[in-house]
Chain A
Amino acid sequence: MTTETAQPGITATGQPVNVQQLTVLGALKANMRDYGLLLALILIMLFFQYFTNGVLFKPVNLTNIILQNSYIIVMALGMLLVIVAGHIDLSVGSVSGFIGALAAMLMVGWRFPPELAFLTNPFVAGAICLVVGAAIGAAQGYLIAYHKIPSFIVTLAGMLIFKGLSLAILAGKSVGPFPAEFQLLSAGFIPDVIGPTTLVAASEGVQPLVLHTTTAVLALSGVVVMVFMAIRGRARRQARGYETEPFSLFVVKNLVIAALVLFFSYMLASYRGLPNVLVVMALLIAVFVFITKRMTFGRRIYALGGNLKAAALSGIKTERLTFYVFAIMGALAALAGMIYAARLNSATPKAGQGLELDVIAAVFIGGASALGGVGAVAGAVIGAFILGVMNNGMSIMGINIDLQQMIKGVVLLAAVFFDLYNKNRA
């Protein structure tokens, strides 16, 4: 049904457009999905905070949650693109395991002649691993995009192949430990270049409270930049006369997000500061948000997943795009494999197995559509954290692994059910 609710106005550039101020309720409804997901994460965290007697929010545990889930989140970013493009990648777990094995063999497993010894350098080996991962993704993408073999089949085959290859190159054994530089990827924290700030000095009966100053400064400047961008964006929209959310909601939303970021940064700062892997993750998340929201490349992926034929007839090179999406997925799986291996400090033949399911679940909990064309990076990241916090919380509570699995299954189903229910009601 068509309705004319907009009222004409005049922009700064003189052209009439629709000036519309959304009501608080309307804006909340329009963003129900995004807020709802974040709210669900916060509620789940509070729930476990209570039932673990305050262990969940301990700085060391929060740091652990990030370290434990970093590789899932890294892969969820790529999987989001894959799923939005209307495909699936079942091979990412095995590929990450294989790359972990390759990294181990390059750095400590294989004996190279002196002229090839540079290959054992963690940075060289890491670069090789990324390239190999991208090549694996590209090879699968080539079959999917240009030979029209369903992604489910290609990547199912990939899953088996790379599971086998990991076993083969590790000869069935665990290989490690890694050089110290490589371990830093998962075990390291950014250096406190400014030097620690002591808030509460150690004295009798009082726990000392020392802040990682660099972390605190980075977090503060990050929040300032974020708020500045939000205000500037709002001002730009208003200047052109486009609808904006109500001011009160805008303020509350930004305050809540800023408070959350500052709270978690404070927690991290009072432990050992920002983990290296969180920096990598944050950068990747920022890049993928930018790609999906602001770049033509991202826009084309949504168009492709929304209607392949219409996208092709709009001049989009659908095959090449699909190919790139899988290549990116491969590179991210490689990075995740290295993070995983560095965290365990060894490559095991079983590494990565089953991870693809966690990654796919995270993306779907985050609101992506199994039919393609719908999904958001923020959703996938929150989805991954929801799963991660549940894993962590339930383990602390001592819930058996069998029950944990069932609960996670129910949560996945409930999230998607809630999503569809909402959509149908709208």
Chain B
Amino acid sequence: MSETILEMRGITKTFPGVKALSDVNLNVREAEIHAIVGENGAGKSTLMKVLSGVYPSGSYEGEILYKGEEQHFKSISDSEHKGIVIIHQELALVPLLSIAENIFLGNEQAKGGVIDWDETRDGARKLLRMVGLSEDPNTLVTNIGVGKQQLVEIAKALSKEVKLLILDEPTASLSEKDSAALLDLLMEFRKQGITSILISHKLNEISKVADRITVIRDGRSIETLNKEDISEDRIITLMVGRSLDDRYPVREPHVGEVVFEVKNWNVFHPQHRDRQVIKNIDISIRKGEVVGIAGLMGSGRTEFAMSIFGRSYGQKITGDVFLHGKKIDTSSVEKAVAHGLAYATEDRKTFGLNLIDHIKHNTTIANLKGISNVGVIDDMTEMDVANEYRKKTNIRSSSVYQITGNLSGGNQQKVVLSKWLFANPDVLILDEPTRGIDVGAKYEIYTIINQLAAQGKAVLVISSEMPELLGITDRIYVMNEGRIVGEMPTGEASQEQIMRAIVRAEGKAS
């Protein structure tokens, strides 16, 4: 058995009023992939911030032993100096700089402050090859996809001669293909003696690559499992502190007549006038039906949804939208909402919430008419509404006056849902409703979706997690490269079938 490279002992970190970590122990061996799992808000990210020196030594209790020596990191540069590099969930790349510039940012290949561009480009090319990228180092980061950006981050870490690589939710926004490539890379690193700590929600990924797993719950380290003991059920049980018999609530569909229809929908790229992003899409949703859209990252699902919702994406949009058989005008978000459409975004921080404002104001912002009279807001009605939806969606917060930016991902998502539930739509489009949130909160959100359908609403769910679509929908459309390439009742669908529809379409396209 290899040696311990990192040991964190009795780590306790307190924020005013909250104990984020209490007596957490973590033991990581050299050249292993060590996964850390836990619900959102369990304290995983806090622990990694303690390790990397974001929270400087002295602001927490406990000790950190790295390669047998006690460490007192005062800042990130201290820990990076020792070869500990953290890659955050939100990528820290500068979009308008080139790949090479990003890789050597803060660590420029320079002599006396003058950058050696040949050295920079050659170095970058070498590092890119190591992570399996063949991109030109001069390409601007903004012009490559999220998956490749993630790899650039890793290349950047490699440039610092990393010994211990920490990845916080690295695959959260990656397609299955990119995720698989990333995990392969981690396994390759393991062979080269680089240790990785992987924070992830995706249990299937973890069971595939991790040597050991530490489960964290409510700021405590619960247990460390060895590879042979790893099973999804066991991890989930440890994570939530109870066993989850079923990850999806039971669904009893009562499907009625067609409520919502989109016909012959075409959309072009907002910048490139000639690039058609959505090609001739027809879909329909029935009353009380939950319909899924499956597809790979970049297949145009979000673009499709946003173009319907007030033309929030794209240009030269053509096609018709029907609600209850009548053609409706959805050319602005306001009109779309007025006609009973709602779109809960995949990116709640950028598009969903006012993060500096509290739950109450965020809950009512899409339906101010519902709490006001000739433009004057009734405070008390607003309080009632905010409390009602906080309870309905089970938002965990001290009150409706909690700032949404301080909520965990799952609770933020519930605020976004509350906002759209209060707008009382007939058709609800949920774009990646459970991205980056924990198992417990996912279940709660599935339950809400079920309730919405039971109330007779038409629900469209866009998701990259196929088991989720199979678990909660009644019917699935498969999308690829801007087209619908398959449609199947969920009862007859399987992951293999969905993939087959995609691959078949790819074959036709090429």
- 8 Å CB contact of B380 from A1, A15, A240, A300: A240
- Interface size of A in residues (CB-CB distance below 8 Å): 41
A295–B377 contact, CB under 8 A? Answer: yes
A17 vs B15: C-alpha distance when bound (angstroms): 28
In A259-282, the 8 Å CB interface with B consists of none
Q: A47 CA to B256 CA in the complex, in Å? A: 74
Is the C-beta of B189 less than 8 angstroms from some C-beta in chain A?
A: no
* CB contact under 8 A between A306 and B396, given known A236-B380, A294-B376, A315-B333: no
List chain B residues, Cβ under 8 A from A309: 350-351
Distance A303 CA – B366 CA, assembled complex (angstroms): 10
A188 to chain B, nearest CB (A): 33
Would you mind naming 15 contact pairs between A and B with Cβ atoms under 8 Å apart? A1-B18, A2-B411, A240-B383, A242-B383, A295-B376, A296-B377, A302-B357, A310-B350, A310-B352, A313-B343, A314-B365, A315-B337, A316-B333, A373-B356, A373-B357
A404 at the interface (CB under 8 A from B): no
Given A4-B396, A236-B380, A302-B361: A18 in contact with B387 (beta carbons within 8 A):
yes
Check A297/B375 contact, CB under 8 A, given A15-B388, A373-B354. Answer: yes
* Bound-state Cα–Cα, A299 to B18, Å: 31
Q: Which of A17, A20, A307, A316 neighbours the largest number of chain B CB atoms within 10 Å of its CB? A: A307
Q: Given A300-B368, A313-B351, are A306 and B312 also a contact pair (CB < 8 Å)?
A: no
A1→B20 contact, CB < 8 A: yes
C-alpha gap A236/B16 in the complex (Å): 32
* Contact of A310 (CB < 8 Å), options: B16, B334, B351, B411: B351
- Complex alpha-carbon distance, A56 and B493, angstroms: 81
Kindly list the 3 A-B residue pairs having the minimum CB-CB distance in the complex, ordered from nearest: A306-B354, A2-B396, A1-B18
Query: Which of B332, B356, B399 is A306 in contact with, Cβ under 8 Å?
Result: B356
Instruction: Please give, as numbers and ranges, the residues of chain B lying within 8 Å of A425 by CB-CB distance.
Output: 16
Assuming the contacts A3-B18, A295-B377, A313-B343, asked whether A307 and B353 have C-beta atoms less than 8 A apart, the reply is yes
Contact of A296 among B350, B353, B375, B396 (CB under 8 A): B375
B398 touches A3 (CB 8 A): yes
A17 to B310, CA, bound (A): 36
> CB of B53 within 8 A of chain A?
no
Contacts from A to B (Cβ < 8 Å): 1-6, 13, 15-18, 20, 236-237, 240, 242-243, 294-297, 299-300, 302-303, 306-307, 309-317, 369, 373-374, 425-426
Given the complex of chains A and B, what is the CA–CA distance between A313 and B352 in angstroms? 8
For residue B18, which residues in chain A have a CB less than 8 angstroms away from its CB?
1, 3
Which residues of chain B have a CB within 8 Å of any CB of chain A? 15-18, 20, 41, 309-310, 312, 332-334, 336-338, 343, 345, 350-357, 361, 365-366, 368-369, 372, 375-377, 379-380, 383-384, 387-388, 391, 396-399, 407-408, 411, 419
Complex alpha-carbon distance, A300 and B391, angstroms: 25
Q: Is the CB of A314 within 8 A of B407?
A: no
- Among A6, A16, A237, residue most surrounded by chain B Cβ atoms (within 10 Å): A6
B residues near A302, Cβ cutoff 8 Å: 354, 357, 361
Shortest Cβ gap from A300 to chain B (Å):
7
**Which single member of A6, A16, A313 contacts B398 (CB below 8 Å)?**
A6
A307 touching B355, Cβ below 8 Å: yes
CB distance from B430 to the nearest CB of A (A): 14
Of chain A, the residue at the smallest CB distance from B369 is: A296
With both chains docked as a complex, state the minimum distance between the C-beta of B370 and any C-beta of chain A, in angstroms. Answer: 10
With A294-B377, A373-B356 already in contact, the answer to whether A2 and B383 are too (CB < 8 A) is no
Query: Cβ of B397: which chain A residues have Cβ within 8 Å of it?
Result: 2
Please name all residues of chain A whose beta carbon is closer than 8 Å to the beta carbon of B41 when the two chains form the complex: 1-2
Question: Which of B345, B376, B383 is A313 in contact with, Cβ under 8 Å?
Answer: B345
Given contacts A6-B399, A307-B353, A373-B356, 17 further A-B contacts (CB under 8 A): A1-B15, A1-B20, A1-B41, A3-B18, A4-B398, A5-B398, A15-B387, A17-B384, A18-B399, A296-B368, A302-B354, A302-B361, A306-B356, A309-B351, A314-B333, A316-B334, A373-B354
* Contact between chains at B375 and A20 (CB < 8 Å): no
Give the residue name and chain of the B residue nearest to A239 (CB).
B380
Q: Which residues of A contact B379 (CB under 8 A)?
A: 294
For A15, the chain B residues whose CB sits under 8 A away are: 384, 387-388
B396-A303 in contact (CB<8A): no
Q: Which residues of B contact A17 (CB under 8 A)?
A: 384, 387
Closest CB of chain B to A136's CB: distance in Å? 25
Q: In the docked arrangement, what's the CA distance between A299 and B376, Å? A: 10
Q: Which of A5, A237, A242, A313 has the most CB of B within 10 A?
A: A313
Question: How far apart sit A13 and B381, CA to CA, in the bound complex (Å)?
Answer: 12
Which residues in A have their C-beta under 8 angstroms from that of B398?
A: 3-6
Which residues from chain B contact A6 at a C-beta distance below 8 Å? 398-399
* Complex: chain B residue closest to A313, CB-CB: B351
Distance (whole angstroms) from the CB of B488 to the closest CB of chain A: 30
CA A6 – CA B390 in complex, angstroms?
A: 12
> Taking CB as reference atom, which chain B residue is nearest A372?
B356
A299 cross-chain contacts in B, Cβ below 8 A:
361, 365, 368, 377
Task: Determine how close the nearest CB of chain A comes to the CB of B267; give it in whole angstroms.
Answer: 17
Q: Which residue of chain A has its CB nearest to the CB of B419? A: A314
Give chain B residues whose Cβ lies under 8 Å from the Cβ of A296: 368-369, 372, 375-377
Kindly state the separation between the CA atoms of A20 and B398 in the bound complex, as whole angstroms: 10
Known contacts A296-B377, A312-B312, A313-B333; A303 and B365 CB within 8 A of each other: yes
Whether B407 pairs with A2 at a CB distance below 8 angstroms is yes
Closest A residue to B332 using CB positions: A317
- In the complex, what residue of chain A is closest to B388 when comparing beta carbons? A15
Nearest-Cβ distance from residue B139 to partner chain A, whole angstroms: 26
Q: How far is the CA of A191 from the CA of B366 in the complex (A)?
A: 48
Per the bound structure, the CA–CA distance linking A61 and B302 in Å amounts to: 63
* Distance, CA A201 to CA B408, complexed state (A): 69
User: How far, in Å, is B99 (CB) from chain A's closest CB?
Assistant: 27
Q: Bound state CA distance, A302 and B377, in angstroms?
A: 14
Residues of chain B within 8 A of A312, CB atoms compared: 312, 333
CA distance A208 to B366 in the complex (A): 61
Least distance between A119 CB and chain B CB atoms (Å): 34
Closest to B335 in A: A315
A191 to B307, CA, bound (A): 61
Which residues of A are found within 8 Å of B387, using beta-carbon distances?
15, 17-18
| B310 neighbours in A (Cβ, 8 Å) | 313, 315
A294–B312 Cα gap in the complex (Å)? Answer: 29
Q: How far is the CA of A426 from the CA of B17 in the complex (A)?
A: 10
Q: How far is the CB of A25 from chain B (nearest CB, A)?
A: 13
Q: How far is the CB of A269 from chain B (nearest CB, A)?
A: 33
The residue in B332, B354, B366 that gathers the most chain A C-beta atoms within 10 A of its C-beta is: B354
Q: Which of A20, A314, A425 has the most CB of B within 10 A?
A: A314
What separation, in Å, do the CA atoms of A236 and B20 have in the docked complex? Answer: 37
The smallest C-beta distance from B390 to any residue of chain A, in angstroms, reads 9
Contact assessment for A310 and B354 in the assembled complex, using a CB-CB cutoff below 8 Å:
yes
Interface core residue of A1, A3, A309, A316 (most chain B CB under 10 Å): A1
